[in-house]
Chains A and B, each alone.
Chain A
Amino acid sequence: DAGVIQSPRHEVTEMGQEVTLRCKPISGHDYLFWYRQTMMRGLELLIYFNNNVPIDDSGMPEDRFSAKMPNASFSTLKIQPSEPRDSAVYFCASSLRGTSEQYFGPGTRLTVT
């Protein structure tokens, strides 16, 4: 398997622009997680899905952030409008029902200027 795939790997955008991050989980995995990693706050869980349904979005910082999972093989994390404080590395991870181990993608490094 190719593992968890994220795109783009790097994104540089200006404040106020819309940003869309994409994730393809490992085939057959039914849990999908979005994380944000910064030096100041470490690794934070933003939201996770089970069978394409959002289960816990309490980590989403504010209404500017939204996440969708239209099907089992694709998820997006959208920031609109983006702000400099959103600069971070965003990771997607997936796991299989009956296990707890999560498999992480390579991350998207977002820079908002």
Chain B
Amino acid sequence: AQSVTQLGSHVSVSEGALVLLRCNYSSSVPPYLFWYVQYPNQGLQLLLKYTTGATLVKGINGFEAEFKKSETSFHLTKPSAHMSDAAEYFCAVSVSAGNMLTFGGGTRLMVKP
């Protein structure tokens, strides 16, 4: 069975600062990895995904994540935070196409002016 751990349920950064949201996973087979964002009172929206190929994945809104197999990590970064990035972010893992996603507990990102 797979699992996902997001370190830090709340992260606060200043506007313009680096955003780093941490995600570690466990999986017995090569995983598919995802980051989703949830704005208040909305559903989850896909930010980016890793399935195969290049380990550095770029997503929407300037976010990117790097798959590091040796560290079983898939951390999400953005060089410069914007106020509009304030939201909850979820990391998720799947073991095959079409299969269920296992979500982490989420990290709430706060951006200070």
Contact = CB atoms under 8 A, between A and B. Distances in A.
The range of chain B's interface size is: 20 to 34
A102 B101 CA distance: 8
B98 A31 contact: yes
A97 B100 contact: no
Interface string A26-42: 00000101000000001
A99 B90 CA distance: 18
Contacts of B103: 42-43
B43 to A, nearest CB: 4
A50 B96 CA distance: 14
Contact of B46 (A31, A45, A103): A103
B43 A100 contact: no
Contact of B100 (A45, A104, A107): A45
Contacts of B98: 31, 50, 95, 97-100
A29 B32 CA distance: 19
Contacts of A4: 43
A33 B44 CA distance: 13
B28 interface: no
Given A97-B98, A100-B51, 16 more contacts: A42-B103, A42-B105, A42-B106, A43-B90, A43-B106, A91-B44, A97-B97, A99-B97, A99-B98, A100-B94, A100-B97, A100-B101, A101-B49, A102-B46, A103-B46, A107-B43
- In the complex, the 8 A-B pairs of residues with the closest C-beta atoms, listed nearest first: A104-B43, A100-B94, A104-B44, A100-B32, A43-B103, A106-B43, A100-B97, A42-B105
